[in-house]
Chains A and B, each alone.
Chain A
Amino acid sequence: MAVIRNLRTGAWRVVELITTPVVPADYLDVIAPLRNAQVLRAKVEAVRPETANSATLVLRPGRGWVRHEPGQYVRVGVDVNGVRLWRSYSITSSPDRADGRITITVNAVAGGAVSTELVRHAKRGMILHLDPPTGEFLLHDPRPAKVLFITAGSGITPVMGMLRSALHELADVVVVHSARTREDAVFGPELRALAADGRIRLIERHTRSSVSGRLKPAEIAELVPDLFERQAWACGPNEMLDDLETHWSDGDAAHLLRTERFRPTLISGGGGGTVTFTESGATVETDGSEPLLDSGEAAGVLMPSGCRMGICFSCVLPLREGAVRDLRDGQLTIAEPGDRILVQTCISAAAGPCTIEG
């Protein structure tokens, strides 16, 4: 076996010599994009509309995919009008699926480039880019006796992943879900079927036809009297999570509530923001008029630099979080959590709080 392995690595070395300066994978990727374990990709196997504005994508992850935990999300990279953009989506399928496929459910957000692209234009056969699954919004072992899920809108997606994977291990489950209308409720029919079977207790709120909006903590407390006897998971808009966290900590039960939140990037209207340089640990207050390169250097950060006019690309550093603005044309570059977008520091200024790896 060792001989064969050596022969294989030897043969691979020769192939590498043949393809230099690129790597053999650059050729193989054209034929078999899923075989490359270094660059994780997935093929769209099916697209199923869920509601008028959302769709479920069945993905076949390529080599290099690791089994996810129910409740985790995956960062998905999609080329939208030529630019690769990454967004996080909760995995809604069970990790035990026999065919190894995963599903994500995407809600088309108004003005959302990636979600709109996926809901409206994703087709069978399309190749997407993936990061390994991640996230701390998990069901723990041993499974709790009594469970409460509080969700709103697309916040149902990680919870659906948990229900599909582990409902058979949960004895007492309450799902409190708010959606705009009955039709807009993603997974509405599936949840209602589970409720009809008596496997979960489902409390739905349709905000468009209700005067009081999303279910508030006080209302939930009325509907679910044993609230603080339950382990709770909540996912939805930030105001909802803030309210819930206050309610739970007021009831001395903060340890029972886990939340999953999406932090929107703060963009200042040209006023700059605090720049954090992760490697050097420096933080600088900027007013948005000076290039990051100058701000960094003034704070004593060792910044790579070159032409100082935006043409040589020697000064690029990864933007990890936040937004920067191109001082020449005002174009914004926004990094989502998990991104490493290389930006030209010599012509970019902070457009809100941002983090630079440098």
Chain B
Amino acid sequence: MTTVQRKKTSPIAHLTPEDIEQIGIELDAIRDEVMASRGDKDAAYIRRVIAWQRGLELGSRGVLLFSLFPPAWLIGTAGLSVAKILENMEVGHNILHGQWDWMRDPKIHSSKWEWDHVTPADQWKHSHNELHHTYTNVIGKDNDLGYGIMRVDEDQKWHPMHLGQPFYNMVNALFFEYGIAAYDLELGRNLQTKERRRDPKFRAALKGVRKKIGKQVLKDYIVFPALSGPFFLHTIAANFTANIVRNLWSHSVIMCGHFPNGVETFEKTSIEGETRGEWYLRQMLGSANISGSKAMHIMTGNLSHQIEHHLFPDMPSNRYRQIAPKIQDLFQRYGLPYTSGPLPKQVASAWFKVFRLALPNRGEAAIRRPVEKKAPAPATRWRRTPASAATPTD
């Protein structure tokens, strides 16, 4: 892809500024309706998922105490993998987004939650909630585009280092949680100079990650294996497998969110003075869904509704499915592409891009439009346009 601003024909050229603000007004109305109707059923849903996840984890780890026996190893490892996936995705990711803060239950609150991940919740909330979700797909601002190690957009500058990116991506997929931790720590940047390495803020963050790694290693590779006594090594293998399965799965799901074909990227200057409508539009074009069953949605933490999630990051995840038809209708009415596809197709599309962009661009630069420069201006993303202001008066 090429940024919307440099494309030969822009996918948003047919929209007037009034259209864009009208999109914002319609999306706000959808949001308000759902947010005002949150209640008992939603609260029961997240508590049920948490209870199931904990039960499954406990049960699977119980079975793995007998990991010497192949059926026990298989069942236990499969159960633990699913439990770990649920814990990170439908439970952890969504709670850390503040989707359940409205319940005012300190046990299920973004400010208190900690997850089974080597990156501490607060560091992840900064890089993900704040940077990625505010600056989604803005080249040079949203480092989720390639995580700083890959080139996933034609407008990212090519470097010979990128020749190795299919390999980096595979390694990142296998050890994804460590990749995320390194990314949240901005290791690449912070290890560069002595000054940055010694920055107390960086050192504190590093300590936080070390502590979390220590706890996970102790739990998965020492305490539980020790509890299974003579089957120590079998349990280590099972837990290692579950962590790898979780990494591969979450990496695949997350790649599907912003890398597949059809997803748009944006120039840094394009977000100067960005309005609420413009921000919404960027989220609509910058995300892709995964189609599938209800089980699929839950296993992806409802990131299969990446578009809906990016429009309303703090909406309870169980509601994305409910609003998806309305969102799809909105896309259609405004002539915008609602990118969605089954998991294998989207994963393949994302991987294809990783391979293709390992090589420099070929001749496309010639047909690119020059980018219109916008003067620096403060963004007003929180401010809604009054419904009357956006409706054309003539």
The minimal Cβ–Cβ distance linking A166 to chain B, given in whole angstroms, is 36
Q: Which residues of B contact A26 (CB under 8 A)?
A: 54, 107
Per-position binary interface string of chain A over residues 1-32, scored 1 when its CB falls under 8 Å from any chain B CB and 0 otherwise: 00000000000001001101110001100100
Cα–Cα distance between A308 and B383 once the two chains are bound (Å):
10
Contacts of B364 in A (CB 8 A): none
Given A82-B103, A307-B133, answer yes or no on A20-B39 (Cβ-Cβ < 8 Å).
no
Q: Does A244 belong to the interface (CB within 8 Å)?
A: no
A309 at the B interface (CB under 8 A): yes
How many Å from the CB of A164 to the closest CB on chain B? 33
Within 8 A of B (CB), among A300-348: 306-314, 316, 327-329, 331, 341-342, 346-347
Prevailing SS type, chain B contact patch? helix
* Contact call B39/A81, Cβ cutoff below 8 A: yes
Query: Quick one: closest B residue to A26, CB to CB?
Result: B107
Q: Does B197 contact A (CB under 8 A)?
A: no
Contact with B along A54-96 (1 / 0, CB 8 A): 0000000000000000000000000101111100000000000
CB-based contact B382/A346 at 8 Å: yes
Contact between A17 and B43 (Cβ–Cβ < 8 Å)? no
**Residue A133, interface by CB 8 Å:** no
A342 CB contacts on chain B under 8 angstroms: 101, 109, 111
Inter-chain contacts of A158 with B (CB < 8 A)? none
Chain B window 87-100, contacts with chain A (Cβ cutoff 8 Å), 1 for yes, 0 for no: 00000000001100
Q: Are A311 and B43 in contact, with the CB atoms below 8 A?
A: no
Q: Does A291 contact B (CB under 8 A)?
A: yes
Of the listed stretches B30-38, B164-172, B328-336, chain A binds B30-38
- C-alpha gap A306/B35 in the complex (Å): 22
Q: Mark B51-77, 1 if CB is under 8 A from A, else 0.
A: 100100010000000000000000000
Q: Of all chain B residues, which has the CB nearest A86?
A: B104
User: Which chain A residue shows the least CB distance to B97?
Assistant: A313
Are B102 and A83 touching (Cβ within 8 A)?
yes
Task: Point out the residue from B36, B43, B130, B223 that lies within 8 Å of A329, measured CB to CB.
Answer: B36
Instruction: Determine the chain A residues whose CB is within 8 A of the CB of B207 once the complex forms.
Output: none
Q: Across the interface, do A17 and B382 meet the contact criterion of CB distance under 8 Å?
A: no
A314–B125 CB distance below 8 A:
yes
Q: Contact string, A26-50, partner B, CB cutoff 8 A, digits 1/0?
A: 1100100000000100000000000
Q: Is A310 a contact of B382 with CB atoms below 8 Å?
A: yes
A327 with B125, Cβ < 8 A, contacts A27-B54, A311-B313 known: no
Contact digits for B124-143, partner A, Cβ 8 Å, 1 yes 0 no: 01100110011000000000
Judge whether B115 is part of the interface by a CB distance below 8 angstroms. Answer: yes
Q: Does B345 contact A (CB under 8 A)?
A: no
Contacts of B107 in A (CB 8 A): 26, 39
Whether, in the assembled complex, B259 has its beta carbon less than 8 Å from a beta carbon of chain A, the answer is no
Q: Which of A14, A82, A84, A307 contacts B129 (CB 8 A)?
A: A307
B367-388 interface code vs A (CB 8 A; 1 in, 0 out): 0000000000001011110000
A-B contact count (CB 8 A): 118
Digitize B113-131: 1 where CB-to-A-CB distance is under 8 Å, 0 elsewhere. 0111000000001100110
**Could you say which residues of chain A place their CB within 8 Å of the CB of B134?**
306-307, 309, 311-312
Closest chain B residue, CB of each to CB of A311: B313
Complex contact B38–A309 (CB within 8 A): no
- B41, B51, B111, B276: the one contacting A313 at CB < 8 Å is B111
- Pair B223/A341 contact, Cβ less than 8 Å: no
Residue of B nearest to A30 (CB): B51
B105: interface (CB < 8 Å): yes
**Chain A neighbourhood of B219, CB < 8 A:** 17-18, 20
Question: In angstroms, how far is the closest chain A Cβ from the Cβ of B76?
Answer: 15
Nearest to A81 among chain B residues (CB) is: B39
Please report the C-alpha to C-alpha distance between residue A314 and residue B130 in the assembled complex, in whole angstroms. 8
The answer to whether A306 touches B40 (Cβ under 8 A) is no
The one of A83, A314, A329 in contact with B104, judged by C-beta atoms closer than 8 angstroms, is A83
Is the CB–CB distance between A316 and B223 below 8 Å? Answer: no
Do A17 and B130 touch (CB < 8 A)? no
Give chain B interface residues in 179-227, CB to chain A under 8 Å.
Answer: 212, 215-216, 218-219, 223-224
Residue B26 at the A interface, CB < 8 A? no
For B121, the closest partner residue in chain A by CB is A21
Let me know if B114 and A311 touch, CB within 8 A.
Answer: no
Q: Is B19 an interface residue (CB 8 A)?
A: no
Instruction: For the complex formed, measure the closest distance between the CB of B205 and the CB atoms of chain A, giving whole angstroms.
Output: 15
Counting chain A CB atoms within 10 Å of each CB, the highest count among B42, B54, B130 belongs to: B130
Give complex CA distance A31, B214 in Å: 29
Known contacts A307-B134, A312-B133, A329-B32; is-contact A17 B313 (Cβ 8 Å) = no
Q: How far is the CB of A347 from chain B (nearest CB, A)?
A: 5
Bound Cα distance from A265 to B35, whole angstroms: 24
Note all chain B residues with C-beta closer than 8 A to A20: 116, 215-216, 218-219
A306 and B133 CA atoms in complex are apart in Å by 11
A306 with B130: CB separation less than 8 A? yes
Asked if B279 lies at the interface with its beta carbon under 8 angstroms from chain A, I say yes
Q: Measured between C-beta atoms, what is the minimum distance from A95 to chain B in Å? A: 28
How many Å from the CB of A60 to the closest CB on chain B? 21
Query: Which residue of chain A has its CB nearest to the CB of B29?
Result: A329
Q: Check B115–A21 contact: CB distance below 8 A.
A: yes
Alpha-carbon distance A79/B46, docked complex (angstroms): 14
> Is the beta-carbon distance between A306 and B126 smaller than 8 angstroms?
yes
Rounded to whole Å, the gap between the CB of B311 and the closest CB of chain A is: 10
- Seed contacts A311-B314, A312-B129; 18 additional CB < 8 Å A-B pairs: A17-B219, A17-B223, A26-B107, A30-B51, A81-B39, A82-B38, A82-B39, A82-B42, A308-B379, A309-B134, A310-B382, A312-B98, A314-B126, A314-B130, A327-B383, A327-B384, A342-B109, A347-B382
A-B contact pairs, 9 of them (CB 8 A): A20-B116, A79-B103, A84-B103, A306-B129, A307-B134, A309-B279, A312-B130, A329-B31, A342-B111
Chain B residues with a Cβ under 8 A of chain A: 28, 31-32, 35-36, 38-44, 51, 54, 58, 97-98, 101-105, 107, 109-111, 114-116, 125-126, 129-130, 133-134, 212, 215-216, 218-219, 223-224, 276, 279, 313-314, 379, 381-384
**5 shortest A-B CB distances, which residue pairs?**
A82-B43, A313-B98, A312-B129, A309-B381, A306-B130
